Amino acid sequence: MKSCMDNAIKEICDKEGVSERALRLGVRTRKFSRVRVKVAYHLNHEYGISRAEVARQLGVCTSAIAKAVQNMEGAENKC
């Protein structure tokens, strides 16, 4: 499971042009925050990884991931 998660994070970071290391350190610039939301949503919905585990991997608190995923779900439902 960990290698799948690592591969997914690396793939999304490469696609978005951001540093995986900086993303995992919790850098809080707008660009990294947007990528973090995409990663969190993908890991939570595609792989079924808990929000707490996603938060640990991305260097932020669980509530930040929960809020980001909920916002992404809300945006998805509006379309």
Residue 79: per-residue pLDDT? 65
CATH T-level fold of 2-78: Chromosomal Replication Initiator Protein Dnaa; Chain: A; (1.10.1750)
Residue 72: per-residue pLDDT? 87
Element holding 48 (H helix, E strand): none
Residue 2: per-residue pLDDT? 78
51 touches 66 (CB < 8 A) = yes
Q: How confident is the model at residue 75 (pLDDT cuts 50, 70, 90)?
A: confident
Domain boundaries, the chain: 2-78
pLDDT in tens, 6-59: 999 999 999 999 999 999 999 999 999 999 999 999 999 999 999 999 999 999
Residue 23: per-residue pLDDT? 96
Q: Residue 73 and residue 7: Cα distance in Å, rounded?
A: 23
Residue 29: both structure tokens together: 């610039």
